[in-house]
Structures are given as structure tokens and as C-alpha cells.
A and B are shown apart, each in its own frame.
Chain A
């Protein structure tokens, strides 16, 4: 049963994510609309996108506290994801010495999510714009992080059988449901996240690269930009 759910979620994620990106790709950008000042070369645009993705430049300009919470969460998530690699693929020896960073990151991630949740509720402006889905997303991530931390610090699961199951899962060879209940919960929550990903605001992960105000070169006079549907 778990295996079936896991595959449905995985396929939903992969196909759904691809379908959204495909939709963005198909929709043309009829006009040049970079938010200026903007780079005047392609490499400049690559740098602009890199700094947006790596440092959240615009958010930093907009709101320092949200930046702190958002950046801490995303950076920690990256480290946590790296730490999880070893459950899926063989990793170099050096990774085992760096687990401590992943574990620390897990704590930071849950802390940052808590901060973002409190802030969303506490600041009248963000409370006004939030839907149940916005809170739900934070709670889901908190539950994933929380159950993960519990496994790290309180109820150690059987890593060997989990690793076996996960490798089987992502290589499409099937797997036996591991016995640890906490792990199964953790895993189910992640599957839920994967399944709703393409239909939610989490699509900002892929969408940012398609945002015309950020990914266009500022050269409308130098190079003629053609609108594919204008017929000239």
C-alpha cells in the first residue's frame, strides 16, 4: 500500500512539475519587461538570477525579517536535503563526517519555519493575505521537520532497512514497508508534499527562472525582440 502511494506521489510530482514548467515554457513573452535597472547582457542576467536564487536579493531589499526567516529555512533545507542523500544513493566517505551540519540544519529549519508561521499570523498584513493553504504548507513542513528531528534525537529507526526501501523506491524496483511507525509518518508527509507540489505555490522553485522581469536582457533598442503571436 505504502509503495503504491509512494509511486503515485513520485509520478505526480515529476509529471506535474514538468507539466507546469512546460506551460511556462509554452507561454510566450510578447514584450521586453525586465524590471530595470537590469543587466544588458545574457551573462548579466545569469548573475542576476543566481543572486536572486542564492541570496534572495529582492526579498532582502523588501523585508529584513522575512529574509532572515526565509533564508534560514531554505539554506537549512538544502543542507538537510544533502544529508538525506545517503539514504538514496552511495555517497563519499567524507559525508559521514559532515552529518553534524545536516543535523544542526534540521534544528534551524524547524526553528525558521516556526518563526515564519508566527510571523504570518502575528503581522496583520501577512495575516490578511494568508489562506488556509499558506498555513497548511508551513504546518506540513513543520510536521516533516519535527518527525525527522524526533528520529534523529529520540526514536532512532532502523536506518539499514530504510535505506534499502528508499533505494528501491527511487530506482523503481519496489520496496518493503519499513517497520518504524515514525518513519512511515515522516515519509507519508513527504509524499503528500511531493504530490501537492506542482499544484501549489511551491512552484516558485521552477517559476522564478521563467519570470520575465528577472530573466530578460535589457536590450530592446539594440536587439529587436519579436512577439511570436503579433504576426510581424
Chain B
């Protein structure tokens, strides 16, 4: 079927990444060797290869399985694509009785299955919630992609994007001068619309906060509305901030391809720039997988962040930042500004199941909801089975937000659409609030296929932006 398999990366994408330019000659042997190496480096992989009992609890939990009905999209079966190779080469049972335990050689057929199905996983971790042993397919997918890269079988989309981050500092490949003029244009725009001089500074040393949004926030709709929201919050609170042109991207596609080194290198430029600009805090914008990397991995990859102000978490999510100000009374929000909207909230997968906000477990669910409720009068929840830790992925995460996988993305969004349509019908919902750049891009593109207007999609800080009363009172620091 078309639109279900990724485009292969070419030499020009692979070489700068330090990957073989094309498939290496002895790829089978090399691939198995790499797997052996990774089993020793990742406890998760080693344990997850061994202990699945195939109870079936995960089989109906993946949005791609629900959308496609393809049995290889059952999480257990996806992991089995790797396990059958693992068994063949690394377990006595697979060496002696391959037929009994379903063990297979790493051959062309298996490799093609890997290319297809390890690019039909968005690393959303929903399966890991329901697994009695916490087996997380995201870990397996990342390992599979790393093994494939090591033998010269890469995915064009992610590889190309990482190249841009390394050279230009963001996924979209926006050079600093273009970014500068965009931000100036936005400042003028806000001035025209509100009469307030809200700033969006670039590369200004000595600012209190470095803001790291996803680069889509600079150019895409509705992302840009949230960027305006962040700027208004900073303005109203009286806290100086800056964006860095070379750290103008929160997203970290190094995670998508499972590469520790690229993940670290991509994250490092943010830590470096924060030091260079002498900021005291780092705040990350509305971006799901980015927040996972920032929250869970930054400290390990490039820590310690002891040069930042210890009174604030490092890094801090923009929702945590705004929520904190709200609680301290620094912001005035006029809920009526959002009266045209009946709002519901989609928990982004990696925020929900791979991170936290605030001091308490589950803060990642409560804090964005509290911001929404403070910004609008009408808020309703979608079906309980589809929110919070059980939330569905938008269908475009994990390096799949690319046109060649459009059919997959349309199918993958199905469970979320079903729940959304329910509340649209029952409660008149007309605004889907989000805190992830990928969710926003995916939903604006695929919801219209289900006859849901793209204007339904927006950011949490878009609502804050609508509601915030500029000049209401002096903010506090």
C-alpha cells in the first residue's frame, strides 16, 4: 500500500551523520553484531527481549493497529520482529529449535519488515502502560532504527532533519537572519493588534530566561499563536527572555533514530547557548517529544545545569512557567475572550507517559488543564480511556510526520478522531487544545480528512494569549 513505508535516506543524508552512505556489504553480520552491542548497553532492550509472555494485553492498544488492522502493528508483534532475530542469534532455544520458538535469520525479508514496521511506531509508549512488565516498544523501535542506521539503512525524513539541526540550529533549516525578521514582524503584529510593545528578542545576552520553542512555532499555524502567547506571558510578568538562533529548536530527532550520540549533540547546543547567553532559566515551549528529552534526558546528556537559578526546575516547561505565574497572581486572564470556544484537551503522548510537570506525579495532566480552565469558561474531557496516561498518539510522532507516510498518519489518528467526534457531537467542542508541535501539524493536516475543520486545532498558550489582559497590572518576578 502507498503511503505506509518511509523513503530511504540517501548518501548525502547519511554521510554527515557518520552513518554508512549505503547499505554495507556484510549488513547481516554487522546488524547482528550491533544488536549484540546494544543488548549490553541497554538494560531495557535486553530485558524486553527476554521476558514478554505474549499475554496479549497490548495487542489492541496501539493506534496504528486500531487504524490499520495490520497484525504487525500489535506492539507485541512489532517487538517480535526484533525478538525473532534476537532468539536466532542470542538464545540457546532459537539456535536449537528456531521453529518452535519462532526464531528467524536476519535476512532481506526481515529487514524490509523492520523498515516498514519500525517506521509505523511513533514511540508513544501507550503499550507500556498496559504491559504487566512495562515493556516499552519505543525502546525496541529506537534500537531497531539505530541498528538499521549502522548498516546504512536510514530513514530520509529524520536523518535529513538532524542534519539541519546540526548545521543551522533548527529542524526547519531557518537561518538566523530569517528568524530575526520573523520575530520582528511578529512584534509589529502584536503591537498592531494589542497596542502593547511585546518583545520577541533573539540572541540577547543576560536575559533571565532562554526560551526554546519548537521551530514550527516561528512559521506554522496554529503554532505561531502559542509563541505569541508565551511572549505575552513574559511581557506581562516582566521577566526578560531571549530566543537563541542556534538553539531555536526544542525538538530532538536524535531520540527518534535511537542515537545516543546525536541526541546528546543536539541537546548540547542548547546547554552551550544557555551558558553563553548567561541566562538563569531555560523554558521549553509546547513540544511533546522535545519535553521528554528535555525533562528526562538533558540532565544526563549535558548536565549538571548548576549554572542556572536553583530555585526553578531545569528545564522548565512553558506550562509550568505560566502556571507558576498564575498562582502567584502575576497574570490576569479574561476567560470571556475564549467564549466562542468549547475546549477539550489532547494529552500529548510523550508528555503524558514520559515526563512530568510540577512536583507531583501526574502534574503533566493537571497543569495544562488548569491553564485551560483559567483561560476559558467551557472545558470538557474526552472519553476517559483516551486521555491522561491512556491518551492516544496523534499518529504523527516519533519521526513519522512526513508526507510519504500520509496514509499511515490518516489511519493512525483514528482513535483520537473517534473520541474527539464524540465530544464535538455531545458537547459542541470546537477547540482541541494541544501542547505539542507535532500534534498541531498532524491534526491540522489529517483532521480535515475526517471532516473536522483545521481551525479546531490550537495550542494551550493560544488560549492563554486570547485571555491574557495586557497591562492589567505589573507582573512579579
Q: A residues within 8 Å of B by Cβ?
A: 20, 23-24, 26-33, 35-40, 52, 56, 58-59, 61-63, 66, 70, 120, 123, 125-126, 128-134, 136, 196, 199-201, 203-204, 207-208, 210-214, 218, 220-221, 224-227, 229-230
Contacts and interface: CB of A to CB of B under 8 A. Distances in A.
Could you say which of B47, B100, B314 has the most chain A C-beta atoms within 10 Å of its C-beta? B47
Given A58-B132, A131-B102, A199 B314 contact: no
Given A38-B361, A58-B134, A134 B50 contact: no
Nearest to B55: A66
B91 A199 contact: yes
Contacts of A201: 50-54
12 contacts: A30-B300, A35-B136, A61-B390, A62-B61, A70-B55, A129-B56, A129-B80, A134-B54, A211-B51, A229-B41, A230-B260, A230-B264
Interface of B: 39-48, 50-61, 71, 74, 76-77, 80, 91-93, 99-102, 125, 128-136, 139, 260, 264, 295-297, 299-301, 303-304, 313-315, 352-356, 359-362, 364-365, 389-390
Contacts of B134: 35, 52, 58, 208, 211-214
Given A36-B353, A211-B135, A221-B299, A58 B57 contact: yes
A123 B56 contact: yes
B93 A200 contact: yes
Contact of A125 (B53, B56, B101): B56
Contact of B364 (A36, A125, A221): A36
A125 B44 contact: no
Contacts of A230: 260, 264, 300-301
B59 A208 contact: no
Contacts of A203: 50-51
Contacts of B355: 36
B447 to A, nearest CB: 27
A223 to B, nearest CB: 8
B90 to A, nearest CB: 10
A218 B55 CA distance: 27
Contact of A224 (B300, B353, B390): B300
A132 B354 CA distance: 35
B354 A33 contact: yes
Contacts of B296: 31-33, 220
Nearest to A219: B356
Contact of B299 (A123, A136, A211, A220): A220
B57 A59 contact: yes
The 7 A-B residue pairs whose C-beta atoms are closest, nearest first, are A62-B130, A62-B57, A207-B51, A213-B134, A37-B361, A27-B43, A214-B134
B264 to A, nearest CB: 7
A159 B390 CA distance: 52
A21 B264 CA distance: 30
B299 A213 contact: no
